[in-house]
């Protein structure tokens, strides 16, 4: 965790871009190992017009570091913004979970949030039509808990083997290096289960008005475990207290050209104005029997659980009240992983979640290295006491002289049997095999209900947004889109077909 800066001299007239006061003295400049620099501009040369000497260590230090400034960007969630804040419990949920940060009404836990687009690259615009990442890191007394969600309650696919493919078709064509509607719709029409997410993405909810005006969701079903070992299945909902606001397609497209960093700027400026955004956390709670017998598979991330069947239960709220001091150190190096779970919270058998438990933690090893958890933004407030050692860029004492193995005869560290194992004890029974989710009528019920739930003007926006994008594809792909929409709603499909014929 990165604490608030101390003794930072602020300019009373500082703008939202945090201009530093001109009368402060930050001291003499040094090289990367603290040696004072005599001259920052002029290299060491043989005479005024001669060659530069290799012994100019500061020039070499400066250029070699510059050559290595960039780290690999995230394959998913590359472009984003973030802020620090706190989470506060407002309702008692100790009967559901033994998680320490949720056990007392009024308890506050420091946290960091990162919002992002999902499939586009670092240089893309904030207002592109795309899901938004909604990643939260809670610095609890039992270690870091990461909730790595999105701004949509469902996802494109329910099998993790498809994750790479659904992202690939939202990247760039391997030949033209441009976004390809043909690639996009070719894939998704062959995977019709994705259309629940696609209807959300091509509605106005696909272009939220910045990060402050969108909800967040776990999307996956998680398990909560109380101190007695009782398990409940839970979906997490983070509802914005600023009200939901979306952009029209035309407005989003305009902002992409005039203000490509619109969402990052909006979040930053609001916090600088002390208009601190907040979200209220709700749970949807099912017993094990209710989850097993529900009309939809609660482990299928392409489906929602009806709030009429299982109403939202308020838990608490989080507030973002502090901007990062350094974007790279705090936002770019923040490492979120669904596998970061504290006692009392556990993964379900949701297939996509199971895949993400590996994939997200693995990508940080690639981007940031095996000791990325030691970076200040990722380090827990309760400290680390482990036998894990060494690797690139160790920070601190690397465990000092303490034994790097367990068991040992020198005082540990040792396991604590009193901690409730987050996985809990549960029975698994089945024949190992590759079991297919078979597409059926039930996969079209929720997209159909979503379309009917939209107001007439929202339906029209959805029709036009779909037709605008699909019109850029081959005729046979257009026919496949309409065929899938026919299975959702015949009138809906007809309206899209009519819009396509006019384009």
- What are the DSSP calls for 326-353, one per residue? -HIIIIIS----TT---TTEEE-S-HHH
Q: What is the pLDDT of residue 423?
A: 58
CB 390 within 8 A of CB 10: no
Residue 421 has pLDDT above 70, yes or no: no
Q: Which residues does 104 contact at the CB level (< 8 Å), separation at least 6?
A: 89, 94
At residue 92 the predicted structure's pLDDT band, cuts being 50, 70 and 90, is: very high
Residue 424 has pLDDT above 60, yes or no: no
Q: What is the pLDDT of residue 412?
A: 82
DSSP 3-state percent helix, strand, coil across the chain (nearest 5): 30, 15, 55
Residue 13 has pLDDT above 50, yes or no: no
Percent of the chain with pLDDT over 70: 96
Residue 8 has pLDDT above 90, yes or no: no
Q: Is 177 a catalytic residue?
A: no
- Mean pLDDT for 418-434 is 76
Closest CA to 300 of 353, 263, 260: 353
Any bridge partners for residue 314, and if so which? 282
Closest CA to 386 of 368, 374, 369: 374
Residue with the larger pLDDT of the pair 359 and 4: 359
- Mean pLDDT for 444-454 is 98
Question: ∠ at Cα 279 (273, 283), nearest 5°?
Answer: 170
Q: Is 77 a catalytic residue?
A: yes
At residue 16 the predicted structure's pLDDT band, cuts being 50, 70 and 90, is: very low
Task: From residue 181, give the alpha-carbon distance in Å to each of 178, 214, 288.
Answer: 10, 26, 42
Q: What is the pLDDT of residue 444?
A: 98
pTM reported for the whole predicted model? 0.94
Q: What is the pLDDT of residue 422?
A: 56
Q: What is the pLDDT of residue 420?
A: 67
Q: Can you tell me the distance from the alpha carbon of 402 to that of 394, in angstroms, rounded to the nearest whole number? A: 16
Active-site annotation holder among 77, 196, 215, 372: 77
Active-site annotation holder among 150, 151, 226, 371: 150
Residue 15 has pLDDT above 60, yes or no: no
- Mean pLDDT for 199-210 is 97
At residue 408 the predicted structure's pLDDT band, cuts being 50, 70 and 90, is: very high
For the chain, give the mean pLDDT: 94
The region of weakest confidence among 13-17, 28-32, 303-307, 440-444 is 13-17
Residue 378 has pLDDT above 90, yes or no: yes
Q: What is the pLDDT of residue 4?
A: 85
**Bond from prior residue into 407 cis (ω within 30 degrees of 0):** yes
Residue 416 has pLDDT above 90, yes or no: no
Q: What is the pLDDT of residue 6?
A: 72
Output DSSP code: residue 34. S
Q: What is the pLDDT of residue 14?
A: 46
Q: What is the pLDDT of residue 9?
A: 53
At residue 371 the predicted structure's pLDDT band, cuts being 50, 70 and 90, is: very high
Any bridge partners for residue 423, and if so which? none
At residue 302 the predicted structure's pLDDT band, cuts being 50, 70 and 90, is: very high
- Mean pLDDT for 205-230 is 96
Residue with the larger pLDDT of the pair 15 and 149: 149
Residue 12 has pLDDT above 60, yes or no: no
Q: Give per-residue pLDDT as tens, 313-367.
A: 999 999 999 999 999 999 999 999 999 999 999 999 999 999 999 999 999 999 9
Q: Give per-residue pLDDT as tens, 63-86.
A: 999 999 999 999 999 999 999 999
């Amino acid at each position: 965790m990165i604490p608030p800066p101390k003794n930072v001299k602020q300019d009373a007239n500082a703008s939202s871009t945090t201009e530093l006061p001109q009368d402060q003295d930050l001291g003499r400049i040094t090289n990367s190992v603290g040696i004072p620099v005599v001259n920052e501009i002029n290299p060491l040369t043989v005479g005024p017009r001669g060659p530069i000497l290799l012994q100019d260590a500061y020039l070499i230090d400066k250029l070699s570091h510059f050559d290595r400034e960039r780290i690999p960007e995230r394959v998913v969630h590359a472009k984003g913004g973030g802020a620090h804040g706190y989470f506060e419990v407002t309702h008692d949920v100790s009967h559901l979970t033994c998680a320490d940060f949720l056990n007392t009404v009024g308890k506050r836990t420091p946290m960091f949030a990162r919002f992002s687009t999902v499939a586009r690259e670092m240089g893309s615009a904030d207002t592109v039509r795309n899901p938004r990442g909604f990643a939260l890191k809670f610095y609890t007394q039992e270690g870091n808990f990461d909730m790595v969600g999105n701004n949509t309650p469902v996802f494109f696919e329910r099998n993790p083997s498809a994750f790479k493919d659904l992202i690939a078709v939202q990247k760039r064509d391997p030949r033209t290096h441009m976004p390809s509607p043909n690639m996009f719709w070719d894939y998704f029409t062959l995977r019709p289960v994705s259309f629940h997410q696609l209807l959300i993405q091509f509605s106005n909810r696909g272009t939220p008005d910045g990060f402050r005006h969108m909800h967040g969701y776990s999307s996956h079903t998680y398990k909560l475990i109380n101190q007695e070992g009782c398990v409940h299945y839970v979906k997490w909902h983070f509802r914005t207290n600023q009200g939901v606001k979306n952009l029209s397609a035309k407005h989003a497209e305009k902002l992409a050209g005039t203000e490509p960093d619109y969402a990052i700027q909006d979040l930053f400026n609001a916090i600088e104005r002390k208009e601190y955004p907040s979200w209220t956390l709700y749970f949807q709670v099912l017993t094990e029997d209710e989850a097993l017998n529900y009309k939809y598979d609660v482990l299928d991330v392409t489906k929602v659980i009806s709030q009429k069947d299982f109403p939202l239960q308020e838990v608490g709220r989080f507030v973002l009240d502090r901007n990062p001091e350094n974007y790279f150190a705090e936002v770019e190096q923040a490492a979120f992983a669904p596998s970061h779970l504290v006692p009392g919270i556990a993964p379900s058998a949701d297939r996509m979640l199971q895949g993400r438990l590996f994939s997200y933690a693995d990508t940080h090893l690639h981007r940031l290295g095996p000791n990325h958890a030691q970076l200040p933004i990722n380090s827990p407030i309760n400290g680390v006491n482990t036998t894990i050692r060494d690797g690139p860029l160790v920070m601190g004492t690397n465990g000092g002289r303490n034994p790097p193995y367990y068991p040992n005869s020198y005082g540990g560290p040792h396991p604590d049997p009193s901690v409730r194992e987050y996985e809990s004890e549960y029975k698994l029974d089945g024949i190992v095999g590759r079991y297919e989710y078979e597409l059926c009528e039930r996969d079209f019920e929720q997209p159909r209900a979503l379309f009917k739930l939209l107001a007439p003007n929202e339906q029209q926006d959805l029709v036009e947004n779909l037709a605008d994008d699909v019109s850029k594809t081959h005729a046979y792909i257009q026919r496949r889109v309409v065929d899938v929409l026919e299975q959702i709603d015949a009138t809906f499909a007809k309206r899209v077909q009519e819009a396509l014929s006019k384009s």
